[in-house]
């Protein structure tokens, strides 16, 4: 039996191995035919030579990731082990770019390969579709790109919108005026903004119209110039709404359209405007589509498993 010995240098074994060696357990799960023993700052691995070579290559990716980000969590390990691991570490000129210095010095960056592709796409195209399941960072990355553009004076305003589709609820029975009824539907957009802009400044931006958060109905008849515009939950637009929105684009505008075709809340007889747009616009220059998947999920680790579980029954229906 062949043996591979790896010694960690300049890396804390306790942090790298994880609490109760949970990261080592993930390695064992991914390489069931290898015997993996971690002691002190050394890892000894026993098995066939080909598997040892693959383990060594993947382990190099893990240490490189740790050296770059000073952390190693379950999501990162699974991405590095399960996919083309080198992609996770790909170093395009903006892969490690800080998009926004957020509240309390928080550094807002693209976290995954596909999120970095979204950043690249928005940089190189005026209209981008970000398509993927819940928790993949579509909205958060998009808002970070918009705030970055505003801070760098690339645009004069940010416009955030989403269709007021009532996921099983009825707006008419909610208390308050129209704004108060709709605010809960806009909450994910507010949450992202609060991470990136200080409260007083955010309130000022909203008050003077630099940042506008409004339902799609408020877009009709407008021309959106000098703006970074994000349409969230685009899967819940109708044909007419999507066409209306896309044709609002004015001079020096960036449009980002986010959606999850697996979470459509429209009545069954209506076709999703997002699904239709992805078909009819796919060959137009200047429009790019970025697909995100469960490898991009950065919420609780269970979210990825929930998405995977539902894929099975959705594909069978």
Architecture of domain 108-313: 3-Layer(aba) Sandwich (3.40)
In whole angstroms, give the CA distance from residue 121 to residue 14. 38
pTM: 0.68
Alpha-carbon distance of 106 to 71, in angstroms, equals 16
pLDDT attached to residue 317: 55
pLDDT given for residue 243 in this prediction: 95
CA distance 99 to 119: 9
The pLDDT of residue 85 is 53
Element (H, E) at 45: strand 42-47
Q: Which residue has the tokens 């039996």?
A: 1
SS3 label, residue 262? coil
C-alpha dihedral sign at 144, 148, 150, 154: negative
pLDDT confidence of residue 121: 95
How many Å from the N-terminal Cα to the C-terminal Cα in the chain? 48
Query: What pLDDT score does 274 carry?
Result: 96
Label residues 43-60 b or e (16+ Cβ within 10 Å = b). bebebeeebbebbeebbe
Measured between alpha carbons, how far is 204 from 160 in angstroms, rounded to an integer?
16
- The CATH classification number of 2-82 equals 3.30.1370
Q: Residue 94's pLDDT is what?
A: 42
The per-residue pLDDT string of the chain (317 residues; one tens digit each, 9 = 90 and over) reads 789 999 987 678 888 888 888 999 999 999 999 999 998 889 999 999 999 999 998 898 888 877 766 677 787 788 788 766 555 555 434 445 778 888 877 788 888 889 999 999 999 999 999 999 988 889 999 999 999 999 889 999 999 998 876 443 445 555 555 556 666 777 888 899 999 998 888 999 999 999 998 878 788 888 999 999 999 999 999 999 999 999 999 999 999 999 999 888 888 888 999 999 999 998 899 999 999 988 887 767 677 778 778 776 765 55
The pLDDT of residue 90 is 52
Rounded Cα gap, residues 13 and 43, in angstroms: 10
The Cα–Cα gap between 26 and 80 comes to: 11
Where exactly are the structural domains of the chain?
Answer: 2-82, 108-313
């Amino acid at each position: 039996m062949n043996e591979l010995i790896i010694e960690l240098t300049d890396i804390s074994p306790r942090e790298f191995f994880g609490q109760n060696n949970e990261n080592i357990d993930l390695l064992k799960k991914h390489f069931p035919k290898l015997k993996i023993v971690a002691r002190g700052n050394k890892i000894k691995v026993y098995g066939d030579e080909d598997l040892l070579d693959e383990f060594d290559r993947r382990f190099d990716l893990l240490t490189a990731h740790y050296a770059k980000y000073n952390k190693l969590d379950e999501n990162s390990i699974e991405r590095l082990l399960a996919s083309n691991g080198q992609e996770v570490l790909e170093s395009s000129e903006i892969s490690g770019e800080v998009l926004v210095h957020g509240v309390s010095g928080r550094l807002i960056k693209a976290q995954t390969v596909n999120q970095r592709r979204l950043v690249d796409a928005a940089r190189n195209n005026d209209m981008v579709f970000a398509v993927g399941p819940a928790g993949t960072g579509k909205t958060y990355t998009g808002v970070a790109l918009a705030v970055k553009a505003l801070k760098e004076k690339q645009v004069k305003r940010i416009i955030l919108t989403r269709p007021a589709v009532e996921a099983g609820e009825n707006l008419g029975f909610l208390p308050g005026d129209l704004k108060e009824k709709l605010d809960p539907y806009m909450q994910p957009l507010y949450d992202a903004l609060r991470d990136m802009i200080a409260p007083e400044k955010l309130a000022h931006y909203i008050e003077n119209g630099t940042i506008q958060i409004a339902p799609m109905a408020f877009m009709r008849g407008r021309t959106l110039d000098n703006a970074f515009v994000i349409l969230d939950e685009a899967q819940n637009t109708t044909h007419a709404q999507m066409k209306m929105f896309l044709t609002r684009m004015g001079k020096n505008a960036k449009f980002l359209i986010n959606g999850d075709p697996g979470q459509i809340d429209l009545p069954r007889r209506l076709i999703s405007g997002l699904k239709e747009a992805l078909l009819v616009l796919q060959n137009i220059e200047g429009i790019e589509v970025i697909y995100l998947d469960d490898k991009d999920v950065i919420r609780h680790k269970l979210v990825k498993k929930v998405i995977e579980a539902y894929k099975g029954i959705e594909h069978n229906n």
